[in-house]
Amino acid sequence: MTLHDELLAQLGDSGLEQIAGMLGTDTATARDVVQAVSGTIVGGLARNAEHPDGAEALRGALDEHVDTDPFNGDVASLTRDGHGILSHVLGGQGTEAVVSGLSQLAGIDRGTIMRLLPLIAPMIMSLLATRAANADMDAGTMADHLNREQSAVPDALGALLGSIFGGVVPRQAGPSEPVEEPQRAPGTPNPDR
């Protein structure tokens, strides 16, 4: 079961209905948006955990989220915690890029995505913290776990994450399917050459 699946189970129908109300859409669309948001947060966590120092810092931060219950907390506290998580995981400019990309991908306005991101971030951290504690994961094992999680994202989200995180989270290609090169504006030099 992926973190996204666990998130949906924890939210339940009533939680998805609340998110659908916040987004001004139906629950099926809300489910898709939650998948995109959670996949983006997991992608950012995986990117940070690629480096040993980042993995150690994240593993330490998870200890602070083991006994929290963001699914029944107040929105103001959840939002404050979520903004802190997003600043560590994505940074200020990264958060703006994520909001823009998710807004375009989901067809939901930027302000609504910006309200949803900090609500979902503590939920993902709590679920990951519980997994890490239950499986007694060290930083390396947790990083491997996050890499497996990010490989489960849908193609369109994988492409978006690759563009946001500079190709670190590429769309997963099949054995006979080439990975697409990122598109550059005309006249932009290729940094690989």
pLDDT in tens, the chain (193 residues): 899 999 999 999 999 999 999 888 999 999 989 998 998 899 899 989 999 999 999 999 998 888 888 988 788 888 999 999 999 888 878 888 889 988 888 888 999 999 999 999 999 999 999 999 999 999 999 999 998 988 877 776 777 777 777 643 333 232 333 333 334 344 444 444 3
- Structural domain includes residue 40: yes
pLDDT for 64 equals: 87
- Structural domain includes residue 185: no
pLDDT for 166 equals: 66
- Decide if 47 contacts 169 (C-beta within 8 A): yes
- Structural domain includes residue 103: yes
| CB burial readout 61-74, b (16+ within 10 A) else e | bbeebeebebeebe
Long-range contacts of 16-19 (CB under 8 A, 24+ apart): 19/116
Please tell me the total count of domains within the chain. 1
- Structural domain includes residue 186: no
Largest CA distance in the chain: 52
- Structural domain includes residue 72: yes
Q: What domain range includes position 7?
A: 3-164
pLDDT for 181 equals: 37
pLDDT for 67 equals: 83
- Structural domain includes residue 182: no
- Structural domain includes residue 183: no
Query: How far is Cα 108 from Cα 60, in angstroms, rounded to an integer?
Result: 34
- Structural domain includes residue 190: no
3-state secondary structure of 115: helix
pLDDT for 168 equals: 39
Q: Which two tokens stand for residue 76?
A: 């103001």
Query: How far is Cα 138 from Cα 140, in angstroms, rounded to an integer?
Result: 6
